[in-house]
Structure 1
Amino acid sequence: MTSTKAMDEQEQPKSYWRWSKQDFLPEESFQSWNNYVYALSQTWLRFKDRVQTRSDDATETLELKKKSENEMKKCLNWWDLMWFGFGSVIGAGIFVLTGQEAHNHAGAAIVLSYVASGISAMLSVFCYTEFAVEVPAAGGSFAYLRIELGDFVAFIAAGNILLECVLGSAAVSRAWTSYFTSLLNRPKDSLRIKAHHLKDGYNLLDPIAVGVLIISGIIVMISTRKTSLLNWIASAINTAVIIFVIIAGFCHANTSNLTPFLPYGAKGVFQASAILYFAYGGFDNIATMAEETKNPPKDIPIALIGSMSMITVIYCLMALSLSMMQKYTDIDTGAPFSVAFQKVGMNWAKYVVAFGALKGMTTVLLVGGLGQARYIAHIARSHMIPPWFALVHPKTGTPINATLLITISSACIAFFTGLDVLSSLISVSTLFVFVMMPIALLVRSLLGIKA
């Protein structure tokens, strides 16, 4: 009777909301003080083991999924993922970076800079596409690097991914407040609270950014499918604004503004393309949705390559329309499209541009929240952070704990930290992962390290 009762207790599913030591510190070295001291004495051997240890395809795609206890719901197809691509890539960057780089580095040849950066981004897309087809895991680049380059490199990548997730969301939410202020036609920092006793860069408190992060986090936690539908709507509106900007720009075009076409030479074109590469960031979020995709080998390549191809064309057309509306020396570096429309008598268009940028940042937060949570969940599955964050909720089919980690961390930073401080920290973490990915693919292709 006692054994039957014990078996029934073992068969009962665990509660999702639990706080046991095993959920946060499951490793043997944390089970007692003596174990911990012994583990410290073996640091060099453990480090050597981590450097040499590699995962394999089956572990990343099958075994580690069990650590989440519940599976994520397969509810996405290539069409959903295509819109995820638009939502995660097209934010406010295109509305700001285009003017900055045209004025400072490329001139009218800014369109060539977008072509060069688009080709470079597409090469990264091909790397992600090949991996996503063969290793359809929620961990994305983390899982790929763990298989090919080992636990140590994956550990460094995990740190960079965490940094990028938290700081990236905080930066976008701060920018959201700025564009919302512009849409209301109010002074730049009028919706922020000035804290005079804090250091510059951290003294403009932003409760709106915190609110936006919390709302987007709740939406992402509720349902992947509902988030996808909301992303469709927001991305469609953003796309309509972009089409308006392109058509209106060409309607007021003057071909004489394209001369001189290369005022800074080829060097300026490539300097600009290096900066514009970051306008293509975010496509890796598509790869993290592999576990929720109905047919990953077919849907992910279509979504990645299709969305990035169309985004490259859109970026080039927007850059060309701006260059033809205004001479590069007259382009405003802060709000290039808004100022350009004002110069041609379309003062009202600046509100359309601000609304489009606002919608773009909204989709970046939504899709970014989805992808980031899945990164965190998979990192937690490998026990590089507490496995509590790997748990998938049985009803929603989403990693709620991982989403909470990103949302709360980003909100705390966004409340205090200025956009310029955040922007300077994000690029390093992004570059590290993008540099490691082609190296990992070379290792996989040339050395055949797959399983």
Structure 2
Amino acid sequence: MAVGQIIGAGVMSLCGVAIGMTGTGVVLAFVLAAVISCTSLLPAAQVAAACPTTGGTYRYPSRLLGAKAGFFEVMVYILCQITVSMYAITFATYFQDLVPGINLKLVALSILTIIFVTNILGTKNAAIVQKILVIALIAGLGSFILFGLVEVNYNYVFNPDNLFPNGPRAFLTASALLTFSTSGAITIAELGGEAKNPAKDLPIAMIGSTLFVGVLYALISLVASGVLPWEEVADQPLSLVAAEILPRPFFYVFLIGGALGATATTLNATFSWVTKPVMIACEDGWFPKRLANVNHKFGTPHYLILIFYVVGVVPIVLDISLNTIATIGSGLGCVYQAMAPLSAVFLIKKYPQAYQNSKFKLSPKMIPVFAVFAFTLLVVQAILLISDLTAMAAAFSLLYLIFSVILAFVLERKRNIKIPADLDENINSRKMNESKNGGMQDDRN
């Protein structure tokens, strides 16, 4: 799920942009971006390992920073999920390469509906579909790498004149841009309440998948910038190089498994976790509790999945530009993700036992350091993205943030919201179940 969430449309579009910024230095830029993403993940991984839970995006800030912080978080979170329409539109765009002339809107709505139905039928079914999609994805990107590595001119790639043609500043800017492609594993924390061994597996999944994808991206960028002169592939899609190096059957493997698989896996992974924070906010009383009702047959929150399906459908139907959708979603995404590292700062004070029992443990002195680094990085990215919007879209985004803050104060007083200190309930329930199972075994013995 984490690998599928990270590998998305970003690498297909941003690789060429980064090559234009820093030439063959894009290889090192991807490596640096993965390291930055892993470092910024550490505070969230610490909280997820110490207090694995469902809906961590909302539950962590609401329990560690306060009720209003949690509501602000979930409001921003809801709006930025318009990115599901971006994944569907990107899928349709690549699909047009296979079937020229096909209606883009129809394809986008179709793939969105297929993924919606799959996730309505349960998390287990979604996970099975995700494994199949990731296999196809790795096959597509793997063919690009394997056929391309033998064609790379390594002396050309690592020539200093080609590594940093626009200077170190452009290289660092490219690395910052590429963090959008290497981030995404933080969302796997939303499934902490459903994982069998979350305290151990969540940090491994979050950090391991980010490093794995970082290496994969570095190899992809090595081929993308080292087969043809980097000036020719600057700001171009990967399909330009793929058509040059791949036999025709493998070109279709790349196009179907790599391009289509990258967007489909991200879309499917998103639907598997997207409802979790809102479910917990419903339980806390911010929204009507009936919205979080779970289907008895499939065990899925069908009303909430439907709501996020509609959130994805509306931008497609209204023909909102892909750039606007991506920028609003990514910019506001950085805002809500910035709350996770801040939450980690208060973990030891409010849940000392959970921290002590955590199998993944940062030192008390290093948690604030990593938290400040991650928070600063995300805020800077949010400012850069929102400032790049049109005046109307930027104003809408800022007004929405202000509205969310005001609504948090109003609803907390009107509904008398009381946030329980229950971050360790998942740990305690697991221990109780283990104790009961152990006792039953003793009785039988």
In structure 1, the partner of 2:3 is: 86
Give 2:103's aligned residue.
Answer: 191
Deviation at 1:275, TM superposition (A): 1.4
Shift of 1:346: 4.9
CA RMSD of aligned residues (A): 1.9
Offset of 1:279 from its aligned partner?
0.9
| Greater helix share, structure number | 2
Which residue, 73, 85, 89 being the options, matches 1:170? 85
Distance 1:406 1:395 in 2: 20
Q: Tell me, yes or no, if the aligned pair for 2:233 and 2:241 is still in contact at 8 Å.
A: yes
Q: 2:332 aligns to what?
A: 429
**Structure 1 residues 346 and 96: alpha-carbon distance in aligned structure 2, compared to 1, 3 A threshold:** farther
Match of 2:303 in 1: 401
1:125 corresponding residue in structure 2: 41
Whole-angstrom CA distance in 1 between matches of 2:90 and 2:334: 21
Aligned AA for 1:177?
Answer: A
Q: TM-score, length-normalised on structure 1? A: 0.73
Q: Secondary structure at the match of 1:396?
A: coil
Q: Is 2:19 aligned against 1:102?
A: yes
Q: How does 1:186-265 map to 2 (within 5 A)?
A: 186=100, 191-192=103-104, 206-258=105-157, 259=159, 260=161, 261-265=163-167
Q: Aligned to 1:230, what secondary structure does the other structure show?
A: helix
Query: Do the aligned partners of 2:50 and 2:199 also contact (CA within 8 Å) in 1?
Result: yes
Question: Structure 2 unaligned runs (5+)?
Answer: 353-420, 422-445
For the residues of structure 1 that align with 2:71 and 2:246, how far apart are their CA atoms?
Answer: 54
Distance 1:339 1:295 in 2: 43
Are 1:318 and 2:318 matched, yes or no? Answer: no
- Residue among 53, 74, 79 paired with 1:158: 74
Q: What is the rounded CA distance, in whole Å, between the counterparts of 2:14 and 2:335 in structure 1?
A: 22
TM-score normalised by L of structure 2: 0.74
Tell me the CA shift for residue 349 of structure 1: 5.1
- Quote the offset at 1:332 in angstroms: 4.5
In 2: Cα distance, 1:360 partner to 1:425 partner: 21
Is the aligned partner of 1:328 residue 2:243?
Answer: no
Q: 2-side partners of 1:282 and 1:397: how far apart?
A: 25
Task: Answer whether contact 2:183 2:210 (CA < 8 A) is retained.
Answer: no
Q: Where does structure 1 lack aligned partners over 5 or more consecutive residues?
A: 1-83, 193-205
Separation in 2, partners of 1:350, 1:400: 38
| 8 Å CA contact 1:124, 1:434 repeated in 2 | no
Count of aligned positions: 348
CA distance in structure 2 between the partners assigned to 1:135 and 1:182 by the alignment: 45
Paired position in structure 2 for 1:444? 347
CA distance in 1 between partners of 2:98 and 2:235 (Å): 18
Deviations 1:52-110 (A, max 9, x none): xxxxxxxxxxxxxxxxxxxxxxxxxxxxxxxx11111112211221111111x121111
Q: CA deviation at 1:348?
A: 5.9
Shift of 1:219: 0.5
**Letter in structure 2 aligned against 1:95:** M
Tell whether the 8 Å contact from 1:173 to 1:212 is kept in structure 2 after alignment.
yes
Q: Output one character per residue of 1:106-128: Cα deviation in whole Å (capped at 9) or x when no partner.
A: 21111121122111211232222
- The structure with more radius of gyration: 1
Structure 1 partner of 2:252: 351
SS in 2 for 1:408: helix
| 1:332–1:182 CA distance, 2 compared to 1 (3 A) | farther
Pairwise CA distance, 1:148? 1.8
Q: SS of 1:292's equivalent? A: coil
- Taking a change above 3 Å as real, the CA distance of residues 330 and 346 of structure 1, as seen in their structure-2 partners, is farther
